[in-house]
């Protein structure tokens, strides 16, 4: 690498004239922000300029995204730059998020009758103990929401499921306060309440039980309605008797009665001669 010496300022006032002492060749070096930062030895500013030149996302926007909850990898992918170049700007913001999460753990959960005397970390640790879970494996984080308030997050693993609870953190006297933002956070503040899955199943079972008697209306339909119509229809027989459809079969027993009453009528010859006829 050849060394150059500064000759002076170019006539345009925007470039530095440099010369190669060996070959007497002269070069123009733009007197821009990078040159001034390099002359001061400001390495951080040089890194900022590089990001500004390679991406439209400025360092202040990078830090704002990190403060809003994005990770270094997400910002680097969005900006289209290397992760290492984002880390130098994200580091102070990540420290701020970590410090806020620590402060929120010492805050007091807000309940219906006022702030709890215990801190958030004490309440959550008790809830984990009741559930038989390892609180030491849980991870805390925080970021600023769209409304400018800090959001505190607790993430933990249960079996194959990864769960998360969120609170709104308001710094103040005696550690400040936190308010639950979702049902997971409410469950941790009140571990004696029924699990969320059980509350969702109970109404389904209650609705299914009364639905069982619905098939019972089938016996209500009275099918024997045609029976009243049968007495209206009658058929005649050769003996002059009427037979009702569906009537009991013992009815034909009336025939012997007609035979006994028939010979009881005497013929007119028997009455005149006084003899008994052999008819019948």
92 and 121 housed in the same domain:
no
- Residue whose token pair is 């890194």: 47
Report if residue 249 sits inside a domain.
Answer: no
174 and 146 housed in the same domain:
yes
Q: At 199, list the tokens.
A: 């509350």
The pTM assigned to this predicted structure is 0.52
Q: What is the pLDDT of residues 110-153, one digit of tens each?
A: 988 888 999 999 999 999 999 899 999 999 999 999 889 999 99
51 and 73 housed in the same domain:
yes
Examine the pLDDT at 82 and tell me if it is beyond 70: yes
132 and 171 housed in the same domain:
yes
127 and 187 housed in the same domain:
yes
80 and 163 housed in the same domain:
no
Report if residue 238 sits inside a domain.
Answer: no
> Among 166, 184, 207, where does a domain finish?
207
Report if residue 145 sits inside a domain.
Answer: yes
Structural contact between residues 65 and 75, judged by C-beta atoms closer than 8 angstroms = yes
Give the number of other Cβ atoms within 10 Å of residue 42's Cβ: 15
Q: What is the pLDDT of residues 209-253, one digit of tens each?
A: 555 555 555 555 455 555 555 554 444 444 445 544 544 555 555
> Among 102, 128, 147, where does a domain finish?
102
114 and 42 housed in the same domain:
no
Give the number of other Cβ atoms within 10 Å of residue 271's Cβ: 9
Count the helix, strand and coil residues of the chain and give each as a percent rounded to the nearest 5.
45, 20, 35
> Among 149, 184, 207, where does a domain finish?
207
Q: Characterize 193-232 residue by residue with b for buried, 16 or more Cβ atoms within 10 angstroms of its Cβ, and e for exposed.
A: eeeeeeeeeeeeeeeeeeeeeeeeeeeeeeeeeeeeeeee
Q: What is the pLDDT of residues 172-184, one digit of tens each?
A: 888 999 999 999 9
Q: How confident is the model at residue 264 (pLDDT cuts 50, 70, 90)?
A: low
Number of domains observed in the structure of the chain? 2
- Residues 6+ away with beta carbon under 8 Å from 111: 189
Examine the pLDDT at 71 and tell me if it is beyond 80: yes
Q: Which range marks the domain in which residue 92 is found?
A: 32-102
Strand-by-strand arrangement of the 177-180 sheet: 114-115, 108-111, 177-180, 161-170, 150-158, 139-144
């Amino acid at each position: 690498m050849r060394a150059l010496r500064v000759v002076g300022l170019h006539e345009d006032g925007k470039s530095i004239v440099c010369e190669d002492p060996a070959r007497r060749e002269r070069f123009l070096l733009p007197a821009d922000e990078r040159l001034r930062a390099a002359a001061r030895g400001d390495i951080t500013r040089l890194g900022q300029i590089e990001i500004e030149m390679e991406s439209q996302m400025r360092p202040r926007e990078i830090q704002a995204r990190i403060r809003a909850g994005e990770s270094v990898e997400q910002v680097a992918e969005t900006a289209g730059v290397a992760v290492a170049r984002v880390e130098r700007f994200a580091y102070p913001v990540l420290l701020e998020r970590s410090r806020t999460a620590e402060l929120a753990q010492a805050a007091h959960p807000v309940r219906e009758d006022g702030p709890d005397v215990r801190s958030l970390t004490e309440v959550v640790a008790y809830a984990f103990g009741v559930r038989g879970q390892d609180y030491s494996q849980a991870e805390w984080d925080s970021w600023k929401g769209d409304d400018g308030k800090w959001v505190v997050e607790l993430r933990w693993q249960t079996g194959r499921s990864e769960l998360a609870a969120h609170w709104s953190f308001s710094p103040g006297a005696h550690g400040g306060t936190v308010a639950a933002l979702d049902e997971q956070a409410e469950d941790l503040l009140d571990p004696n309440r029924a699990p969320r899955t059980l509350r969702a199943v109970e109404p389904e079972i209650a609705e299914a039980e009364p639905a069982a008697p619905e098939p019972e209306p089938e016996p209500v339909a009275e099918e024997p309605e045609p029976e009243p119509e049968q007495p209206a229809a009658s058929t005649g027989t050769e003996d002059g008797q009427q037979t009702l459809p569906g009537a009991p079969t013992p009815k034909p027993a009336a025939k012997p009665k007609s035979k006994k009453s028939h010979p009881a009528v005497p013929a007119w010859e028997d009455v005149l001669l006084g003899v008994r006829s052999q008819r019948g």
